[in-house]
Structure 1
Amino acid sequence: MIPSDVESGGEIIEVATGKVIAAKAPSVLRCSALGSCVAVVLSDKGKKVGGLAHVMLPSNEHVEGRDLKYSDHAITELVRQMVKLGARPGAIKARLVGGAHMLKDVQDVGKENIASIKRILNTLKIRVTGERIGGSESRSVLYDVLSGEVYVKEKENKFTI
C-alpha cells in the first residue's frame, strides 16, 4: 500500500479503530480495511503537523467521558492534540476516507458517520479539501505528514486526495 513516493521515510503508525493520533513530520499514519468507519485526516501543512482519527460511530452526546470511537469526541481530541504539537486551529484542513455501506440489509452507519463528521468539522470551521467516501467498498489510507499527501486504496485502485 505504501507508494514509492512517500517522502518522509518516517515510522508508519497504525491507527486502530476508536483511536486518534497526532504527529509531526516525518511520521506516516495508516488505517487499514475501513468499512463503515471513517478516517478523518487533519493537517496543518505549514507547521507539518497532522493527525488521523479512526471514527467508528456518529456523535453521541449521551456518552459520558471521551470515548474516541464517536466522531465528536475523536475530532475534538485530535484537534486538541494537534494544537499541543504546534498546529494553528485556523490552518487545519480535513480529508475524509471511508464511510462505506457494507451490509445492505442493515442501517447505513457509514452515511451517518459522514454526516456527523461533516457537521462537527463545520462547527469547528475546518474545511474538507478532499474525500473518498460512501459506496460499498472497503478502503485503506496512508497519510504522510511531511508531504501532506493522503493515499487511498480501494480494491486494486489507488488515489491521492
Structure 2
Amino acid sequence: MDADFGAHLAPNCYFDHTFNTETVKILPGEYYVTPRDILIVTVLGSCVSVCLRDRISGIGGMNHFMLPGNNDEGLTPASTSARYGVYAMELLINHLLKIGAKRQNFEAKVFGGGAVLRGLTVNNVGQRNSEFVLDYLHTEGVQIVAQDLLDIYPRKVYFFPATGRVLVKKLTSLHNTTLIDREQQYSMQIKKARVAGTVDLF
C-alpha cells in the first residue's frame, strides 16, 4: 500500500450498546473488511461509501472516500481524480478477495455525495463522487442493490456485512462542525497525495 496515499484500515473499534455488537467506525480515507458478524459505521457528507459484500459468505466491508476536486491551476486533472477513486475501490475489493470473498457474489449498497461542504460545491464534489462510484460498479459488473446519494444532508450509515442490512440516518441538523472539518481536512490531504498505481487483485 502506498503510504503517501493515506487510505488504511480503520482502527477505531468500540462496543455499540444500542445494537449490542462490536462496531468499527471509519473516517474519511479509511476502509474496513471483515468475515465476522459486526457493525461498520461511518458519517458521510460529500464523501461516498460503498458497502460491499459477498452475498453468499457474508464477508463484507465499507470504504469512505472523496475524489480530489479540480482547482484553478489544473494541478488535479480529472484523470488523477478517477485514479484516486479506482484506487480506493480496489483497496476494498482486493482485501475482500484476500479474506475469502468471491467477486461473482458481490453486491453493493452506496451512500453519500451530499452537497454539504462550502467551497467544494463549485466543483460538484458530491455529484462527481456519486457518478464515479455508480459508473465504477457498473463497469465492474457489481450489482447495486440499494443507494442513497446526493441531496444536501449528511448521513450516518450503519452496515451489517454478515446480513447486508444497512440503516441510514439523515442528519438534518449538525450540533458541531466535526464532520465538515474532517472532510475539508481530508480534501486538502488528498489533493497533496500521490497515487502510485492500481492494486493487484487476487
TMscore range, shorter length? 0.7 to 0.9
How far apart are 1:91 and its partner, in Å? 0.7
State whether structure 2 residue 130 is matched by structure 1 residue 120.
Answer: no
Q: 2:28 aligns with which of 13, 17, 21?
A: 17
Structure 1 range deviating more: 147-156 or 98-107: 98-107
Cα distance in 1 between the residues matched to 2:134 and 2:88: 13
Normalising by the residue count of structure 1, what TM-score does the alignment of the two structures yield? 0.81
**Runs (5+) with no aligned partner, structure 2:** 1-15, 69-76, 173-202
Report the Cα distance in structure 2 between the residues aligned to 1:136 and 1:75, rounded to whole angstroms: 24
Partner of 1:22: helix, strand, or coil? strand
TM-score (normalizing by structure 2): 0.65
Q: Which of these residues, 146, 151, 156, is aligned with residue 167 of structure 2?
A: 151
Measure how far apart 1:119 and its partner are. 1.5
More helix, by proportion: 2
Is 1:100 aligned to 2:118, yes or no? Answer: no
C-alpha separation in 2, matches of 1:11 and 1:3? 9
> Structure 2 CA distance, aligned partners of 1:134 and 1:110?
6
1:144 is displaced (CA, Å) by: 1.0
**AA of the residue aligned to 1:11:** E
Aligned to 1:17, the other structure's residue is in SS state: coil
Identity percentage of aligned residues: 25
Offset, 1:3: 9.6
Match of 1:136 among 149, 152, 175: 152
Q: How much does 1:84 deviate?
A: 1.1
Name 2:177's counterpart in structure 1.
Answer: none
Q: What whole-Å deviation, never above 9, does each CA across 1:127-154 have from its counterpart, x for those lacking one?
A: 1110111100010101012222011000
| Higher strand proportion | 1
Is 1:40 matched up with 2:50? Answer: yes
- For residues 17 and 67 of structure 2, the distance between their equivalents in structure 1, rounded to whole angstroms, comes to 29
Computing the radius of gyration over CA atoms, which structure comes out larger, 1 or 2?
A: 2
RMSD: 2.4
| Kept after mapping to 1: 8 A contact 2:47/2:129 | yes
Residue ranges of structure 1 left out of the alignment (5+ in a row): 157-161
Match of 1:50 among 40, 47, 60: 60
Residues 38 and 55 in structure 1, CA contact (< 8 A), matched pair in contact too: yes
Rounded Cα–Cα distance in structure 1 between residues aligned with 2:146 and 2:17: 19
Is the partner of 1:121 in helix, strand or coil?
A: helix
The runs of at least 4 aligned residues of structure 1 exceeding 4 Å deviation read 58-61
Question: Is this contact kept in 2: 1:35–1:98, CA < 8 A?
Answer: yes
Q: For the structure 1 residues 28 and 100, does the alpha-carbon distance in structure 2 shift closer, same or farther, using more than 3 Å as the test?
A: same
Q: How many residues align?
A: 146
Partner of 2:96: 82
Counterpart amino acid of 2:135?
R
Measured at CA, do residues 112 and 147 of structure 1 come closer, stay the same or move farther in structure 2, by a change above 3 Å? same
